[in-house]
């Protein structure tokens, strides 16, 4: 197949004047090279397209692909991750990973949790704070946890995300509302262990790659998988593959989340335990990072003995199952 690759390259946005934090979710060249290499080794021809602006120009020029490997995050709005899939849908070009609806819904953590709650899956009690007036309506017991409603890579999560009083809640909410210009998710803080479950496949064929437990070292920001902890994971974080009964329960919940939301091809589901050890849904990432060394999904695979080449191959295989015999969606 001729496979186009859509992505947002961090260095390109930095050269245009965007900040390190604004571009935190975007990819490095070695991620694109790794994906390109894995697809090429599998016998496919590749075409590095780039961002949605580059994709728009290429489509207008008449370029087409048999499949697009889409990892573009987008820059603005709740629909930023959905923009490339929606455009590809309009041209009936098949692509890897979830569709525009799933990516738009799951980017908004509040909307996602409402669906998860409706599915009967445990998730911390929460409220969405869209402006300062909403802080007065939060009726949840402390401690609470506050984060931007539509960011990834732990952006906006730091030592002040856990709040113990209304004064702290007010201070953190004002700071994050100003910094990110979007609503905030305020939820009950869970003090237990934290996990992320890697998944490949779609629907009933979805399968777990492994479950990673996240251990914060002594010098890490305490109790939270923050932006600083994630960025400096070599010094601050230890990852261990979970096995046994708890792993089986985490994987059962993660698959229920994945299938219930309609996620496709590959990604992660984040879980955390409460004080009694009961697991709760935190977030889903249907457009998970794919850096071969630093990203959580490849880390899970590496610890589980699954090569990067196999991971990319299984993701692509899942997407190809949506094609008919003529290669159409």
Question: Residue 143's domain is classified under what CATH number?
Answer: 3.30.1490.20
CA distances from 200 to 183, 232, 258, 268, 312 (A): 31, 27, 10, 9, 10
Query: End of a domain among 188, 204, 227?
Result: 188
Over range 211-235, report the average pLDDT.
85
Query: End of a domain among 143, 167, 188?
Result: 188
User: 234 pLDDT exceeds 90?
Assistant: no
Element (H, E) at 324: none
Helix (H, G, I), strand (E, B) or coil at 143: coil
Among the listed residues 53, 90, 59, the one whose alpha carbon sits nearest the alpha carbon of residue 72: 53
- Is there a domain that residue 277 lies in? yes
Same domain, 214 and 315: yes
Chain centroid to CA 118? 21
Same domain, 184 and 226: no
Same domain, 19 and 89: yes
What is the pTM for the complete model shown? 0.93
Q: Using pLDDT thresholds of 50, 70 and 90, give the confidence band for residue 219.
A: confident
- Is there a domain that residue 308 lies in? yes
- Is there a domain that residue 176 lies in? yes
pLDDT at 192: 95
Same domain, 246 and 293: yes
- Is there a domain that residue 111 lies in? no
Task: State the angle between helix axes of 109-118 and 245-261 in degrees (0 to 180), rounded to the nearest 10.
Answer: 110
Lowest mean pLDDT, pick from 61-75, 81-95, 126-140, 226-240 = 226-240
Same domain, 52 and 152: no
ω into 143 cis (within 30 of 0): yes
Q: Where are the beta strands (DSSP E) in 183-225?
A: 184-188, 194-200, 207-216
Query: End of a domain among 56, 74, 106?
Result: 106
Residue 8 · residue 72 · CB < 8 Å? yes
Q: Using pLDDT thresholds of 50, 70 and 90, give the confidence band for residue 97.
A: very high
> How many separate domains does the chain show?
3
CA distances from 176 to 17, 24, 255, 283 (A): 21, 16, 32, 19
- Beta strand 67-70 pairing with 2-6: parallel
Element (H, E) at 178: helix 166-180
- Is there a domain that residue 327 lies in? no
Question: pLDDT per residue over 140-196, tens digit each?
Answer: 999 999 999 999 878 889 889 999 999 999 999 999 999 999 999 999 999 999 999
- Is there a domain that residue 63 lies in? yes
Q: What are the tokens at 202?
A: 């779609």
User: CA angle, corner 115, sides to 112 and 117, nearest 5?
Assistant: 110
Same domain, 163 and 223: no
- Is there a domain that residue 328 lies in? no
Same domain, 251 and 315: yes
For 92, the domain range is 2-106
Q: Using pLDDT thresholds of 50, 70 and 90, give the confidence band for residue 325.
A: low
Same domain, 173 and 224: no
pLDDT at 259: 98
Length of the chain, please? Answer: 329
Among the listed residues 112, 109, 114, 64, the one whose alpha carbon sits nearest the alpha carbon of residue 91: 64
Same domain, 170 and 279: no
User: 328 pLDDT exceeds 70?
Assistant: no
Same domain, 206 and 238: yes
């Amino acid at each position: 197949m001729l496979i186009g690759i859509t992505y947002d390259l961090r260095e390109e946005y930095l050269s245009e004047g965007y900040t390190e934090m604004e571009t935190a979710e975007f990819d490095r060249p070695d991620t694109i090279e790794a994906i390109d290499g894995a697809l090429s080794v599998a016998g496919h021809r590749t075409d590095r397209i780039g961002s949605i602006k580059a994709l728009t120009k290429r489509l207008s020029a008449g370029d087409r692909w048999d499949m697009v490997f889409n990892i573009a995050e987008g820059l603005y709005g709740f629909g930023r991750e959905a923009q490339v899939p929606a455009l590809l849908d309009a041209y009936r070009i098949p692509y890897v990973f979830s569709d525009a609806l799933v990516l738009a819904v799951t980017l908004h953590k509040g909307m996602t949790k409402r669906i998860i709650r409706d599915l009967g899956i445990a998730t911390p009690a929460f409220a969405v704070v869209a402006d300062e007036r909403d802080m007065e309506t939060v009726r949840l017991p402390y401690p609470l946890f506050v984060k931007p409603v539509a960011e990834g890579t732990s952006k906006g999560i730091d030592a002040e995300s856990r709040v113990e009083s209304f004064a702290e809640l007010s201070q953190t909410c004002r700071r994050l509302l100003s910094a990110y210009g979007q609503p905030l998710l305020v939820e009950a803080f869970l003090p237990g262990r934290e996990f992320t479950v890697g998944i490949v496949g779609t629907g009933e064929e979805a399968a777990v790659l492994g479950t990673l437990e996240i251990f914060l070292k002594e010098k890490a920001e305490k109790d939270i998988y923050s932006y600083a902890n994630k960025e400096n994971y070599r010094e601050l974080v230890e990852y261990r593959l979970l096995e046994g009964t708890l792993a089986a329960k985490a994987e059962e919940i993660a698959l229920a989340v994945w299938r219930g939301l309609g996620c496709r091809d590959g990604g992660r589901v984040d879980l955390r335990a409460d004080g009694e050890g009961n697991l709760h849904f935190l977030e889903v990432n249907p457009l998970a990072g794919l850096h071969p060394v630093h990203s959580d999904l490849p880390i899970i695979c590496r610890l589980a003995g699954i090569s990067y080449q196999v991971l990319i191959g299984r993701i692509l295989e899942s997407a190809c199952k949506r094609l008919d015999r003529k290669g159409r969606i």
